[in-house]
Structure 1
Amino acid sequence: MKCFDFIKADLYRYSGDTGLKSFIKQYFNAEGFRFSVWLRICFFAKKRKFTKYSIFPLALLFFKHYKYKYGYDISYNADIGPGLLIFHISNIVLSPQKVGKNMTISQGCTVGMVIKNGKKEFPTIGDNVYMAPGSKVIGGIVVGNNVGIGTNCVLNKSVDNNAIVVGIPGKVISYKGAQEYVNNPI
């Protein structure tokens, strides 16, 4: 997939549409979408020699501006699949090994690493994962596909596909999946 395919996939998650009118509306009204546009441009522009020295420096300025303005600690180097949806602004840390498609992340969420025996371990997140406000995913764990992580849940152990996880530490309460929380999946 190319940069514009990722941007279109992200846009579809916000609006259910990929037209120019929808792009303009979401860019000026949805802070998460505005940030993800620059995240995607930086990610792809840095890969090619020509764009690395032409587009990337300008895109990086916009990316850093919105990163600090909205309180998102997300690297443009992160391997994040298409269909990223960021609800609300402030206090979001997304530092994964890899994220699949249709990730939905809310305010106050953390996907972070731990250091074990001097080695950094990052979480791997599957497709169609919903993180409710305040939830945390920590360490070198694997979060399966279609997983819902409840409000203020702290998940530090791997979970299977279709799990709904709540509590501190996170415990699976059902295997109904997160379909109802993942709007406009691609």
Structure 2
Amino acid sequence: MPKNYSIIQKDFYRESGEWLSPIQILLKCINPNLHFIYILRKAQKFEKTPILGFYWKIVLRHFQIKYGFQIYPETKIGEGLYLGHWGSLVINPKAVIGKNCNIAQGVTIGQQNRGKNEGFPIIGDDVWIGPNAVIVGSITIGSNVLIAPNSYVNTDVPDNCIVAGNKAKIYPTANATEGYINNRV
């Protein structure tokens, strides 16, 4: 893959498996998930530019409310972000998410305000997060990890694992995300 693709092109590639031109990307923005990702990435790109940064933050705020995604430009998210379904998604602005991450509806990636895990999650590359999963605290989720639907994760997870349940149980699995994360960048 040539390195001159933009982060938006890499995000959109995850959806379609095709490298799209800027015009094709705008046409794909009819999809609410892709539309939100486009606006989020613009807000991130221009975050430190006074006028454009303010403009994109206002636009982003409108679509946060419209689509139910609470993701802020300050959140560090690697290329290849894939939002499976729109609605009810909360990600703390201090969380860090690696590349090729799939996030389903109803997910919360948040802070823990007290205790031994006070802080924010760091999530590795190639992670699939199922519907209604909750990931909280100063924890590290490794790469190639599948977090099953409705899981509550507040402990570190090593690479190459499946996590399921409330309280989360960790199952080492070499191909944890095989068939779940398509079109990796």
> TM-score, with normalisation over the residues of structure 1?
0.89
Kindly indicate whether residue 66 of structure 2 is the aligned counterpart of residue 64 of structure 1: no
The CA deviation at 1:125 is 0.2
For residue 163 of structure 1, the aligned residue among 149, 153, 161 is: 161
CA contact (8 A) 2:144 2:176 kept: yes
CA 1:146/1:22 → structure 2, altered by over 3 Å: closer, same or farther? farther
Whole-Å separation in 2 of the counterparts to 1:181 and 1:22: 25
The CA deviation at 1:22 is 4.1
CA contact (8 A) 2:95 2:110 kept: no
Give the partner amino acid of 1:19: L
| 1:24 counterpart residue number | 26
Kindly indicate whether residue 147 of structure 2 is the aligned counterpart of residue 149 of structure 1: yes
Higher mean C-alpha displacement, 98-107 vs 112-121: 112-121
Report the number of matched residues: 179
Higher mean C-alpha displacement, 98-107 vs 11-20: 11-20
| 1:178 counterpart residue number | 177
Whole-Å separation in 2 of the counterparts to 1:152 and 1:178: 17
Q: Which runs of at least 4 in structure 1 moved beyond 4 Å after TM superposition?
A: 117-120
What secondary structure does 1:168 align onto? coil
Give the partner amino acid of 1:129: V
CA contact (8 A) 1:128 1:179 kept: no
CA contact (8 A) 1:14 1:26 kept: no
| Aligned CA-pair RMSD | 2.0
CA contact (8 A) 2:117 2:138 kept: no
What secondary structure does 1:181 align onto? coil
**1:1-186 mapped onto 2 (5 Å cutoff):** 5-20=6-21, 22-28=24-30, 30-47=31-48, 52-95=49-92, 96-116=94-114, 120-175=118-173, 176-186=175-185
The CA deviation at 1:116 is 2.1
CA contact (8 A) 1:80 1:101 kept: yes
Could you report, residue by residue, the CA deviation over 1:93-123 in whole angstroms, capped at 9, with x for unpaired residues?
1125311101110000011110126995000
User: What is the aligned-residue identity percentage?
Assistant: 30
CA 1:45/1:113 → structure 2, altered by over 3 Å: closer, same or farther? same
CA contact (8 A) 2:144 2:161 kept: yes
